[in-house]
Structure 1
Amino acid sequence: MSRRALTLLIAGFLVLALGVIGAFQPVPYVVLSPGPTENTIGEVDKKPVISIKDRQTYPTSGALSLVTVAYQGGPNARIDLLTALRGWIDPSVAVVPEETIFAPDRTAQEVEEENTVEMSNSQETATAAALNELKIPYKMVVTVATTQKGRPADGKLRAEDVIDSVDGKPASDVNVVGDTVKAHKPGETVVFGVTRGQEKLEISVPTVAGEEGQALVGVEMRAAYQFPFDVDINVGDVGGPSAGLMFSLGIVDKLTPGELTGGKKIAGTGTIDSTGQVGPIGGIAQKMVGAKESGATIFLTPADNCAEAMRAAPDGLRLVRADTLHGAVQALDALRTGNGNVPACEAG
């Protein structure tokens, strides 16, 4: 073999070796792919996804499925270049920079914990939206989320305490409690009326000066709901707020006679607030693929996601625009009966 041929052979081998090594080097990207779907009026692990106690419920059929996005990668488990390249050529997945999912100052565990909290909050909000749709009254309460270590409330107020009053004034919302505390001079005492379990207590807490000089006690609060019956939602290892609309529809379906689906397999997505407003979500393309693979023929789509959804919708999946919970219920009624308007996603 000539020297030139040997040089080319060695160079080619080195290029190939470097290419192989490079293909398995970790890269700061995340692969998003269609995740599992769960029928909110069905079961997971032989348990109902939505269980309602102490209230009459009605049988239903079909599916009202939430859809999810699975991800591969992240700061603690980075994908290699070869995996990223496969994702870039697969139309059913997306490859995005790592920082779009994991902020640089947050760990993967922190993201997972936040997703769990968002899922829990979305279940409560979805229940509130469903009860509003059905005109079933419930109460809003102010609860203690946590106390700040070393502040006066630490050791006096506890997480999950319901704050009924502050200085004898009804605690109608979080702002009322906060403003009443701030109205004090640092060093003065605030009297909280709380419910702890089944016990009613009056707890006096001294104030201290905050960074801006205002009085504070070191308590973080959140608004919570007290429903007239128990609604338990079981979805296993699923996080985030984007299943709110489908939870609400599942609750409405179970609490009303007849079948909201008309026996059809329907999937959808969207955040929801207590008034029933539907908000946009991420990963719409992957969620539609998951919906189609689950057998769904109709996909409830947040209005703000319609344009993107129209560009990526799989064949045979009908997109129905969902602006509000009430609108979604009306659209499903129209699909079932053949009467009325079914709002569609439109380009624009």
Structure 2
Amino acid sequence: MPRRTATMLASTLILIALLCAGVLIRAPYSEMSPGPTVNTLGEHDGEPVLQISGHKTYPASGHLNMTTVRVTSADYRMNLVEAVYGWLAHDSKVVPHDTLYPDGKTEEQSTQENAEEFSQSQESAKVAALKALKLPVQSWVIVSTVVKGSPAEGRLHAGDVIKAVDGKAVKEPSDVAKLVTEHTPGQAVVFTIVPAKEQAAAEKERRTPTTTEKVSITTAASDDGGAKRAVVGISAGTDHTFPFTIDIKLADVGGPSAGLMFALGIYDKLTPGDLTGGKFVAGTGTIDDAGEVGPIGGIEMKTVGARDKGAQYFLTPADNCAAAAKDVPGGLTLVKVKTIDDALGALEDIRSGDTDALPKCTTG
């Protein structure tokens, strides 16, 4: 066999072997890509995303789109060829598998966690929007979860309102842990609560709860590896009572990152005129009850997805600005926001056409 032919044959066989290896060898990576983007002012699957009853609403045009990221499942293991393709592609991002699913988290656990965060983001979006509008919102400290096998199991229940601990009024969730840890393990702590059923009935009837109970629980020692402290086995959170009904209808979405855009959509629906001036604005960001906007993951994928759908402006959490500004899709302006008030101010500039005044994202 001629040397040239032998060399070509050997090279071909090596290439085939490398391709086979690339397909068969699994890499410890996952892929992120742009997910669906939904207009919070519009409809999804045939019904309005935001449904408000019990208060006057106003028609709103333009777009205030929340954005999402699509990720490969926890069980999926990409091969080397897919990993290399993902690294080279502009509209996807390959990241270590543990970035998306840390500590061996399963698909079911991730889905449940995302659903809980999404639900909480909706509540915080409502609170932030109503506070920005100076509308009344009542807040309560509640039992969020009860640890199985803990001293609180069977004594406290998710949804119970915590009014006081050892007779000391509770105003913030952090107050609960602070007051419990004033004890030493083995001592009793007394919770004054409104049972979850009584609270739910009172909210439905729009009245103040009339029933409270005192529950004494013997504390146990913490077992998280740190200094031993008194615990009862609950986590505290916040619930709210709104002056009218706000429903957010959006299925198959998880995580907390739509909070800002939900808040802006609610604000727009409750005020005359259009926040966007008819422009296509998209964005992302968590939001808390005080209206503070927090960072999210997958910002580069969200800007690509938004621009592909026609977005002109993208409201970007300040902490994500530097990463987002490194690769901005053509025709998209990244606007830096830290609070809902920042976002409302930016929308005013967009609406008026004074875009030079916008606080834009930079790589610095």
- Normalised to the residue count of structure 2, the TM-score between the two structures is 0.86
CA shift digits 1:188-214 (9 cap, x unpaired)? 362423232236241423313424675
C-alpha separation in 2, matches of 1:109 and 1:192: 35
Partner in structure 1 of residue 207 of structure 2? none
C-alpha distance in 2 between matches for 1:80 and 1:242:
30
Moved more, 103-112 or 287-296: 103-112
AA partner of residue 270 (structure 2): L
Structure 1 residue aligned with 2:204: none
Residues of 2 paired with 1:249 and 1:14: CA distance?
Answer: 59
1:204 paired residue among 211, 215, 227: 215
Other structure's SS at 2:343 match: helix
Residue in structure 1 matched with residue 60 of structure 2 by the alignment: 60
Residue in structure 1 matching 2:238, options 201, 207, 223: 223
The question of whether the paired residues in 2 share the 8 Å contact of 1:181 and 1:190 is answered with no
- 2:164 pairs with 1:165: yes
Alpha-carbon distance between aligned partners in 2 of 1:267 and 1:71, rounded to the nearest angstrom:
20
- For the structure 1 residues 207 and 59, does the alpha-carbon distance in structure 2 shift closer, same or farther, using more than 3 Å as the test? same
Mapped partners of 2:70, 2:288: distance in 1: 24
Q: Deviations over 1:89-138 (max 9, x none)?
A: 21122122222222143223322322222212211112221122111121
Of 339, 344, 362 in structure 2, the residue corresponding to residue 324 of structure 1 is 339
Distance (whole Å) between structure 2 residues aligned to residue 158 and residue 303 of structure 1: 38
Give the aligned partner of residue 144 of structure 1: 143
* Cα drift, residue 28 of structure 1: 1.3
Equivalent residues in 2 for 1:224-239, closer than 5 Å: 224-239=239-254
1:285 aligns with 2:285: no
2:130 aligns with 131
Give, as a single letter, the amino acid of the residue that structure 2 aligns with 1:326: D
Deviation track 1:214-273 (CA, whole Å, cap 9, x = no partner) reads 554333222222222222222211122221211111111011111111111111112222
Residue of structure 2 aligned with 1:294, choices 290, 300, 309: 309
1:115 aligned partner: 114
Deviates more, 1:27-36 or 1:17-26: 17-26
Matches within 5 A, 1:308-323: 308-323=323-338
RMSD (CA atoms): 2.5
CA-to-partner distance for each residue in 1:281-329, whole Å, 9 max, x for gaps? Answer: 2222211111111111111122232233233111111222222211111
Unmatched 5+ stretches in structure 2:
200-210
Q: Tell me whether 88-97 or 12-21 shows the greater mean CA deviation.
A: 12-21
- Alpha carbons of structure 1 residues 184 and 252: separation in structure 2 relative to 1, 3 Å: same
**Aligned partner (choices 250, 257, 269) of residue 254 of structure 1:** 269
Seq. identity, %:
45
Amino acid at match of 2:213: E
Summarize the Cα distance change of 1:320–1:182 in structure 2 as closer, same or farther, 3 Å threshold: closer
What one-letter code is carried by the residue in structure 1 that aligns with 2:249?
N
Q: Which runs of no fewer than 5 residues in structure 1 stay unpaired?
A: none
Amino acid at match of 2:100: I
Q: Which SS does the other structure have where 1:331 is aligned? A: helix
Change (3 A) 1:332 1:110: same
Length-normalised TM-score, structure 1: 0.89
**Distance (Å, rounded) in 1 between the aligned partners of 2:344 and 2:132:** 9
CA shift, 1:5, in A, is: 7.9
The secondary structure found in structure 2 opposite 1:32 is strand
Amino acid across the alignment from 2:305: G
Q: Secondary structure at the match of 1:61?
A: coil
Change (3 A) 1:347 1:36: same
Pick closer, same or farther for the CA change 1:209–1:98 going to 2, 3 Å.
closer
Match of 2:69 in 1: 69
2:176–2:236 Cα contact (<8 Å) kept: no
Distance 2:164 2:42 in 1: 41
Q: CA deviation at 1:78?
A: 1.0
For the Cα contact (< 8 Å) 1:73–1:79, is it kept in 2? no
Aligned partners of 1:40, 1:194: CA distance in 2, in Å? 35
CA apart distance, 1:52: 1.8
Contact 2:115 2:254 in 1 (8 A): yes
Letter in 2 for 1:30: S
